[in-house]
Amino acid sequence: MKQAPLADKVLEGDVRATARLIRWIDDADPAALPHLAKLYRHTGRAHVIGFTGSPGVGKSTLVDKVVSQFRKENRTVGVLAIDPTSPFTGGAILGDRIRMQRHFLDEGVFIRSMATRGQFGGLTRSTADAVVVLDAMGKDVIIIETVGVGQDEVDIAHSAHTTALVTVPGMGDDIQAIKAGLMEIGDVFVVNKCDREGSGKTVRELRFMLHMSSDRHRETGWIPPIVETSASQDEGVENLHRALNEHRDFLMEHGKDEWKRRVFHRTQNQLLEILKERALERVLQKIGGPAALGKIIEDIVDRRSDPYGSADDLLRIVMGGDSI
């Protein structure tokens, strides 16, 4: 638990300590773990909101505008922009700089991009860790913005209290199919760029699809609103902000079971991810590191063995009686 003061600084709201800890998380540096363990008990207060949707729907601008709305209420905001598609080009860092400019002088806003593609830790895992840090730092609202609509994005959205699903008018048939799959995770639906042709049609389609899955809403008691926005024109952002707050109020007042279910689910995922990662670390440590692993992989590549049997052999070595 050396360097424990870092965690204390985060609890005091120190920006540089927070930035450093999040960078360690993004780099999958195990140095972050003792601090995270210490911070965890100070969390659970923030409203975690996920923004997801296909590339090109204008999520970044929308999030920027929503941040300003939360600031008008005097609530502090942390933004995590998750962009796994830019591992090499520094796109995430560039994005940060552009974003930071808007809220640069506002100490109530902390924005960070993450692009973790570490070998052992997944993106869902590192995002959850970063949320712990921002929550412990004292941010009232934490916004997770994802790029794309793959499984990671869905998982990340699942880990939020409130998920805003963003689309735009007329994105073609594939989008319709995806919408159908993503309907399940949306608490608030946003049709952005609503000044474009076909916005009304998209709203009607969404309403129809929501109607189709209304059994679920009868169960939870929350009917997802559909909000039309034009973030670049500053249109409808107040409505979106209100809808996000209403969902939080709903969860706290009427949706205790739903809230609890989500928190339990998220915590379970987080624990299991950490467990998998640590177990793998121990196995690699035990067999003698990358060189020994390389030999095992060569055998598989040359079909002298197979990955399924080799995994079992490795586990047997580590778990089979020997103490660490």
21 binds its own copies (CB under 8 A): no
Q: Is the dihedral of CA 28, 34, 35, 40 positive or negative?
A: positive
In angstroms, the Cα distances linking 215 to 184, 210, 222, 260 are 11, 10, 11, 20
Q: Is the dihedral of CA 56, 148, 187, 245 positive or negative?
A: negative
Amino acid in position 299: D
Q: Which of 73, 278, 288, 289 binds its own copies (CB under 8 A)?
A: 278
Task: List the x/- string, 46-85, binding to its own copies by CB under 8 A.
Answer: --------xxxxx------------------------xxx
When the beta carbons of 72 and 260 are compared against its own copies, the nearer one is 260
291 binds its own copies (CB under 8 A): no
Number of residues that bind its own copies (CB under 8 A): 87
Comparing CA positions, the residue from 37, 44, 45 lying closest to residue 21 is: 37
Q: Which of residues 124-143 bind its own copies (CB under 8 A)?
A: none
Helix axes 59-72, 91-102, angle to 10 degrees: 30
When the beta carbons of 5 and 181 are compared against its own copies, the nearer one is 181
Q: Which of 119, 218, 219, 291 binds its own copies (CB under 8 A)?
A: 119
Q: Which of residues 245-274 bind its own copies (CB under 8 A)?
A: 260, 263-264, 267-268, 270-272, 274
Give me the helices (H) in 237-289, please: 237-253, 256-287
Chain mean position to CA 286: 32
Other C-beta atoms closer than 10 Å to the C-beta of 289 total 10
Q: How far is the CB of 319 from its own copies (least distance, A)?
A: 6
Q: How far is the CB of 40 from its own copies (least distance, A)?
A: 3
Q: What is the tally of helices (H) and strands (E) in the chain?
A: 14, 7
Q: Which of residues 173-232 bind its own copies (CB under 8 A)?
A: 173-175, 177-178, 180-184
Q: Which of 23, 102, 117, 242 binds its own copies (CB under 8 A)?
A: 117
Choices 165-173, 223-231, 236-244, 248-256 (CB under 8 A): range interacting with its own copies: 165-173
